[in-house]
Amino acid sequence: MRPLNLTISAFGPYKDETFIDFTKLGEKGMYLITGDTGAGKTTIFDAICFALYGEPSGSSRDPRMFRCKYSDAKVPTYVELLFSYHGKEYRIRRNPEYERPALRGGGTTTQKADALLELPDGREAVTKTSEVTKEVEKIIGLSKDQFTQIAMIAQGDFMKLLLSDTTERSKIFRQIFMTGRYQRLQEILKKEANKAEDDYKLKSAIATEKIAQIQVRSEDQEEQKRFLECSKTDEIEAFIDDIDKEDKEDLKLFSKKESELRKSLADLNRSIGVATERKKSEDLLNKNKAVLEKAKPEYESAKEDLKNKAKDYKKSEPLAIMISSEKENLSSYDKLDETQNSILEAEKKLSALKKSKKELVNKAAELEKEYAAKKKDQQKLKDVPARKIKAEEELGKIKNKGKDVQDIVVAIKNEYPKEKEELLDLQKEYQDQAKKYELIQREYESKNRLFLDAQAGILAEGLSEGEPCPVCGSTVHPHLAVLKQEVPLQKDVDDVMNRAEKQRALMQKAVSRASAKKAEVNKLFDTIIDDIKSYINKGIIEDIEDEHKDKIEAIDNGDISRSEDKSIASDKGDVSRHEDKAGISSNISNIAAILSDEEELRSSKEKNEIPAGLSDSLGLEFDSLKKDLKDVTAVIKRLKEASDLLESLTSEIPAFEKSIKEVSQMQNENALSSKELETTITGLKVREKELKKSLTYESKEKALEHIKKLELEKEAIDKAYKDADAKARDCEKKVQDLTGQIAALSKNLAKGKSENLEELEERRSDLNKEYTDNNKLLSLVKNRIDNNKELKTKLLSLGTELETLEHELTYKKIISQTANGNLSGKAKIMLETYIQRSFFDRIINRANVRFMTMSGGHYELVRRDEDNIKSQSGLELDVIDHYNGGTRSVRTLSGGESFMASLSLALGLSDEIQRSAGGIQLDTMFVDEGFGSLDDATLDQAISSLASLSEGNRLVGIISHVGELKERIDKQLVVTVTQGKGSFIECRTE
- Residue 875 belongs to some domain of the structure: no
Mean pLDDT calculated for residue range 854-864: 88
Higher pLDDT, 383 or 464: 383
- Residue 801 belongs to some domain of the structure: no
Contacts of 926 (CB under 8 A, 6+ apart): 33, 45, 151, 152, 153, 956, 957, 958, 959
Residues 637, 587: one domain? yes
Are β-strands 955-959 and 924-928 bridged in parallel, bridged antiparallel, or unpaired?
A: parallel
Residues 641, 657: one domain? no
Residues 362, 343: one domain? yes
Mean pLDDT calculated for residue range 328-345: 80
Tell me, what's the pLDDT at 900?
81
Mean pLDDT calculated for residue range 739-746: 83
pLDDT tens-digit map of 98-150: 887 776 767 788 889 999 999 998 889 999 999 999 999 988 888 887 787 77
Residues 116, 234: one domain? no
Q: How far is CA 675 from CA 671, 678, 681, 685, 845, in A?
A: 6, 5, 10, 16, 142
- Residue 154 belongs to some domain of the structure: no
- Run of H or E including 299: helix 233-313
- Residue 917 belongs to some domain of the structure: no
Model confidence at 90: pLDDT above 90: yes
**C-alpha dihedral, 927 to 933 to 936 to 942, nearest 10°:** -30
User: Is the Cβ–Cβ distance between 757 and 276 less than 8 Å?
Assistant: yes
Which residue intervals of 476-597 are DSSP H helices? Answer: 490-537, 549-557, 566-596
In which domain, by residue range, is 100 found? Answer: 1-141+923-990
User: Is the Cβ–Cβ distance between 691 and 336 less than 8 Å?
Assistant: yes
- Run of H or E including 80: strand 78-85
Higher pLDDT, 646 or 19: 19
874 sits in the region (left: phi over 0; alpha: psi -120 to 50; else beta) called: left
- Residue 174 belongs to some domain of the structure: no
Q: How far apart are CA 456 and CA 481, in angstroms?
A: 6
Residues 562, 664: one domain? no
Residues 343, 450: one domain? no
Tell me, what's the pLDDT at 456?
67
Residues 644, 673: one domain? no
Higher pLDDT, 867 or 741: 741
Residues 287, 414: one domain? no
What are the residues facing 888 on neighbouring strands?
Answer: 879
Higher pLDDT, 938 or 687: 687
- Residue 452 belongs to some domain of the structure: yes
Residue type, 296: K
Mean pLDDT calculated for residue range 641-657: 78
User: Is the Cβ–Cβ distance between 656 and 364 less than 8 Å?
Assistant: no
Tell me, what's the pLDDT at 101?
74
Q: Please say which residue of 612, 632, 651 terminates a domain.
A: 651
Tell me, what's the pLDDT at 550?
44
Q: Please say which residue of 642, 671, 700 terminates a domain.
A: 700
Q: How far apart are CA 588 and CA 594, in angstroms?
A: 10
pTM: 0.41
Mean pLDDT calculated for residue range 602-613: 74
Tell me, what's the pLDDT at 216?
67
Nearest Cα residue to 368 out of 661, 669, 668: 661
Residues 415, 561: one domain? yes
Q: Average per-residue pLDDT in the chain?
A: 79
Residue type, 461: E
Higher pLDDT, 458 or 574: 458
Tell me, what's the pLDDT at 52?
94
Residue positions counted in the chain: 990
Gap between the terminal Cα atoms of the chain: 25
Tell me, what's the pLDDT at 867?
56
pLDDT tens-digit map of 170-204: 887 777 778 888 889 989 999 998 988 888 888 87
Tell me, what's the pLDDT at 552?
41
pLDDT tens-digit map of 125-134: 999 999 999 9
Q: How far apart are CA 78 and CA 253, in angstroms?
A: 100
Separation of CA 765 from chain center? 84
Residues 562, 625: one domain? yes
- Res. 14 pLDDT band, cuts 50 70 90: very high
Q: How far apart are CA 841 and CA 909, in angstroms?
A: 10
Tell me, what's the pLDDT at 114?
94
User: Is the Cβ–Cβ distance between 103 and 73 less than 8 Å?
Assistant: yes
- Residue 845 belongs to some domain of the structure: no
Model confidence at 559: pLDDT above 60: no
Q: How far apart are CA 168 and CA 166, in angstroms?
A: 6
Three-state DSSP state, 126: strand
Residues 685, 757: one domain? no
Instruction: Count the domains in the chain.
Output: 4
Residues 367, 397: one domain? no
| Max intra-chain CA distance, the chain | 221
pLDDT tens-digit map of 371-383: 788 778 877 887 8
- Residue 902 belongs to some domain of the structure: no
Q: How far apart are CA 68 and CA 56, in angstroms?
A: 15
What are the residues facing 78 on neighbouring strands?
Answer: 9
Q: Please say which residue of 757, 788, 819 terminates a domain.
A: 788
Q: What is the CATH number of the domain that holds 14?
A: 3.40.50.300
Q: Convert 949-984 to b/e letters by CB count within 10 Å (16 or more is b).
A: bbeeebbbbbbbbbeebeeebebbbbbebeeeebbb
